[in-house]
Amino acid sequence: AGSVESKTEAAMSELVPEPRQKPVVPMKPTGINASLLGYIGIDTIIEQMRKKTMKTGFDFNIMVVGQSGLGKSTLVNTLFKSQVSRKSSGWNREEKIPKTVEIKAIGHVIEEGGVKMKLTVIDTPGFGDQINNENCWEPIEKYINEQYEKFLKEEVNIARKKRIPDTRVHCCLYFISPTGHSLRPLDLEFMKHLSKVVNIIPVIAKADTMTLEEKIEFKQRVRKELEVNGIEFYPQKEFDEDLEDKTENDKIRQESMPFAVVGSDKEYQVNGKRVLGRKTPWGIIEVENLTHCEFALLRDFVIRTHLQDLKEVTHNIHYETYRAKRLNDNGGLPPMTVETEENHESNL
Amino acid sequence: YTQPVFSCQFSDSAGYVGFANLPNQVHRKSVKKGFEFTLMVVGESGLGKSTLINSLFLTDLYPERYIPGAAEKIERTVQIEASTVEIEERGVKLRLTVVDTPGYGDAINSQDCFKTIIQYMDNQFERYLHDESGLNRRHIIDNRVHCCFYFISPFGHGLKPLDVEFMKALHGKVNIVPVIAKADTLTLKERERLKRRILDEISEHGIRIYQLPDADSDEDEEFKEQTRASIPFAVIGSNQLIEVKGKKIRGRLYPWGVVEVENPEHNDFLKLRTMLVTHMQDLQEVTQDLHYENFRSERLKRTGK
C-alpha cells in the first residue's frame, strides 16, 4: 500500500531505524476548528485509505510453533474460520514426525466484507518433538531472517516492484503445553532467541484441560517466568506509542496474556444456537464462550484490533533491525542480482 | 481377623486330610506379614502423575511439593525419589513405595534421561541378587520395582519418540502399564483414536507391555476382557472433592461441567485401580519370574559364576 512505501523511502536515508510514525489520522472537527468556514473533506482520507486497502488487499503471515498435537492447525482454522491449515494430525496421517524441523508455508486468499487477505500460515512440524531438541529453533530463525533478506533485496533494487510481496512473518503464535506447572526449558530457549526477531504471541494450548483456578495460577506463573527471563512478547512495552496504547496494552500484557485457548472445527447445538465446540461426556466446551476459554480474546486481539500493528512492528522494528545489521555488517549491501553495472550507483 | 468357619461335615468324613485349608493359611500368614509393593511412575512434568497417585491410594504422598520453574529445569537431571506409605484396609496392610522420576523428559536434550532410571532398576535387581545369594536370607528386602506406570501425554498424536525409546529400553526390566494422562482433555472419539494409535505403535515397535493373565475359573471373564480392551487406560486424577447430587466426590470442576474421577463413563480410573490392586500379586510374580530371572541369568553369565 502507498503509506508503506513512503515510510521506506524516508528510512532508506539513515542507517539507524527511525522511530515509527503513526499514519496521520485526521480528527473530527473539534471546538477550535468548528469555526472552519466550510467543510473541506480532509477526513475523507480515511475512506480513501480504506478503499485502497480493499482493492489491493493485504498480506498477513502467521507462523505457528509448538510441539506436535497441541492443536496448532485446528486453532488457526478456527481463527480464520477456514481450512487454512492442513491438519497434520490426520489420525490417519501417513507421515511420521519429521526428524528435523520443517518449515511449511501455505497461502490462501480469504475475503470478508469486500476485503481480500492473502493469508499465509507457516507451520513448523518437528519442533520440540525429538528426544534431542537442541537448537531446534535455528531453522525457524533462519526462515524468518530469509524473509527479511528477500524483502531487503527487493527494496534495494533500482526497478522496484510497486508492491513488494511481503513474506515476512508478522506474528508467531507460540504454543505452550498446558501442564499447569511452568514453562518448559525449550519454551524459554525458543522465546529468548526469537522474541528479538519476530512478534511472539504465547498461547496456552488445549486450555480445556485446566480448571479456572489452575488457569489463573498457570498464567500468572508463565507471565512471571517470561518477565524474570527477560522475554518480551508482543505487544512489546517499548513500542507502546502513547498513553492510550500503553493502557490498553498493559491490561493485555498483565492480565489477558498468555491467552488460554481451545480450538475446534466442529459445531454443536447449545441453547438453540450452533456453536463451535468440543463435546465431552460432562459437557460441551464452547470455543467462543469467554467463560470457557479465551479464544475470542485471541481472535479479537490478532485480527480485529492489532493486525495492522503486528505488520507495522514487523516492518518498522524487526525488519529495520535486520536491515541495519545487514548494512553495517557487510560494510554494505546484500549481493545484487546484477543485470547492469548501473545498479551499484543507486545503492547507499 | 476372624477364623474361617469350616463346614462341620468335612472334619468327620473319611479320607479328608485337611490341606484344602492351605490357601487360607497362606492367606493368613500373608495378611499378618503385610504386603510390599513398589510402583514407579514415569512421565514428563505436568501430566498429573502425583495427583493420580494420590487419587489411586486416597492419600497425600506429596504434602509439600515444590514445582521448579523452567529455568531451574534446564540445569536439572533426572532424579529418583522414593516415598513410602503404609495403607491399611480391612486389616490388610500394604507398604506401598512410589518411585518418582522428576526431571524425566524435561530437558531440551532428553537423550540420557532414562539411563538414570535403568541404573536404578538394575541396582535393585543387583541388591536382591546379592541378598538372595547371601547367608542370612530371612529378611530380604524386596525393593525391586514391580510395576511402572508410564504416562503418555494426551496432547500428542500417539507415542513420542522418547516414549518409544523408554519403553523399548525398559520392557525387559519391569512391567510397563501405559497410562494416558489428563484424559479429560479428550473427547470420547479422540480417546479411542489415541488408544488405537498407541496400541498400533506399541505393536509396531515390538514393545512388550504388561499382559493381564487369563481369568481364573472363579473370576469374571467378561470383566477381564473389558479391562484388557481398555488398555492403555485413559485416566483423570483429582485432589479435590466436589459436591455432585448431594455427594462429595473426587472430581474437576469446569465451567462446562464436572468430571468425576470415579465415574467409569468419564474415564478409566476405576479400571486402572481395580486392575492394579487385583494384580499386585501377579505383578510381583512376573517381576520375580521374568524380569528378575532375566537379569540374574545375564549377570551370572557375565561374571562367569
* Tens digits of pLDDT across chain A (348 residues): 334 444 444 434 334 444 444 444 444 444 444 455 667 777 777 778 777 777 778 889 999 999 999 999 999 999 988 777 776 544 334 456 677 899 999 998 888 888 888 899 999 999 999 999 999 999 999 999 999 999 999 988 888 887 888 999 999 999 999 999 999 999 999 999 999 999 999 999 999 999 999 999 999 999 999 999 999 999 999 888 888 889 999 999 999 999 999 999 899 999 999 999 999 999 999 999 999 999 999 999 998 899 989 999 999 999 999 999 998 887 655 555 444 444 443 343
DSSP letter, residue A23 = P
CB contact under 8 A, B109 and A225: no
| Nearest residue, CB atoms, A177 vs list B155, B193, B254 | B155
Q: What is the pLDDT of residues B260-280, one digit of tens each?
A: 999 999 999 999 998 998 888
Show residues of chain B in contact with A289, CB under 8 Å: 255
| pLDDT > 50? residue B28 | yes
> Is position B14 within any domain?
no
| pLDDT > 70? residue B143 | yes
pLDDT confidence band for B92 (50 / 70 / 90): confident
Pairing of strands A259-260, A200-204: parallel
From A183, which residue of chain B is nearest by alpha-carbon distance?
B70
Q: What CATH code is carried by the domain that includes residue A179?
A: 3.40.50.300
Show residues of chain B in contact with A191, CB under 8 Å: none
> Is position A214 within any domain?
yes
Instruction: Give pLDDT, residue A333.
Output: 59
**Average pLDDT, integer, range B209-229:** 83
**Higher pLDDT among residues B1 and B138, named by residue:** B138
> Is position A340 within any domain?
no
> Is position A342 within any domain?
no
pLDDT confidence band for B22 (50 / 70 / 90): confident
Question: How many domains does chain A fold into?
Answer: 1
> Is position B92 within any domain?
yes
Query: A81: phi > 0 → left, psi -120 to 50 → alpha, else beta; which?
Result: left
Instruction: Give pLDDT, residue B6.
Output: 45
Give the number of beta-carbon pairs within 8 Å between A and B: 131
Question: How many domains does chain B fold into?
Answer: 1
**Phi, psi at residue A254, to the nearest 5°?**
-95, -15
Q: State the Cα–Cα distance between residues A82 and A77, nearest whole angstrom.
A: 5
Instruction: Give pLDDT, residue B215.
Output: 74
| pLDDT > 70? residue B103 | yes
> Is position A140 within any domain?
yes
From B68, which residue of chain A is nearest by alpha-carbon distance?
A182
Lowest mean pLDDT segment, chosen from A245-249, B73-77, B172-176: B73-77
Angle B166-B171-B172 from CA coordinates, rounded to 5°? 125
Q: Is the dihedral of CA B34, B65, B71, A172 positive or negative?
A: positive
**Phi, psi at residue A159, to the nearest 5°?**
-90, 95
Show residues of chain A in contact with B256, CB under 8 Å: 280, 282-286, 292
Q: State the Cα–Cα distance between residues A172 and A151, nearest whole angstrom.
A: 18
> Is position B87 within any domain?
yes
Helix or strand (DSSP H, E) at A152: helix A138-155
A70 touches chain B (CB under 8 A): yes
Q: Are A80 and A110 in contact (CB under 8 A)?
A: yes
Q: Which residue in the block uniquely carries the three cell numbers 473319611?
A: B14
> Is position A41 within any domain?
no
Q: What is the DSSP string of chain B?
A: -PPPPPPHHHHHSTT--SGGGHHHHHHHHHHHH-EEEEEEEE--TTSSHHHHHHHHHTS-S-TT-----HHHHHH-----EEEEEEEEETTEEEEEEEEE-TTTTTSSB-TTTTHHHHHHHHHHHHHHHHHHTSS--TT-------EEEEEEPTTSSS--HHHHHHHHHHTTTS-EEEEE-SGGGS-HHHHHHHHHHHHHHHHHTT--PPPPPPPPTTS-HHHHHHHHHTPSEE----S-EEEETTEEEEEEEETTEEEETT-TTT-SHHHHHHHHHHTHHHHHHHIIIIIIHHHHHHHHHHHT-
| Nearest residue, CB atoms, B109 vs list A133, A187, A208 | A133
**Higher pLDDT among residues B92 and A264, named by residue:** A264
CB contact under 8 A, A185 and B74: yes
| pLDDT > 60? residue B115 | yes
Q: Which of B52, B108, B163, B182 to mutate to test the interface with A (most CBs of A within 10 A)?
A: B108
| Residues spanned by the domain of A201 | 57-86+98-330
pLDDT confidence band for B305 (50 / 70 / 90): low
| Residues spanned by the domain of B139 | 33-63+75-304
Pairing of strands B247-254, B257-260: antiparallel
Show residues of chain B in contact with A88, CB under 8 Å: 157
Instruction: Give pLDDT, residue A81.
Output: 83
Instruction: Give pLDDT, residue A33.
Output: 45
Instruction: Give pLDDT, residue A300.
Output: 92
Q: What CATH code is carried by the domain that includes residue B148?
A: 3.40.50.300
From B160, which residue of chain A is nearest by alpha-carbon distance?
A129
Instruction: Give pLDDT, residue B10.
Output: 43
Q: State the Cα–Cα distance between residues A69 and A90, nearest whole angstrom.
A: 10
Instruction: Give pLDDT, residue A3.
Output: 41
> Is position B22 within any domain?
no
- Those residues whose C-beta lies under 8 Å from the C-beta of residue B157, and which sit 6 or more positions away, are A68, A69, A88, A89, A91, A93, B194, B197
Show residues of chain A in contact with B44, CB under 8 Å: 179
> Is position A295 within any domain?
yes
**Higher pLDDT among residues B190 and B139, named by residue:** B190
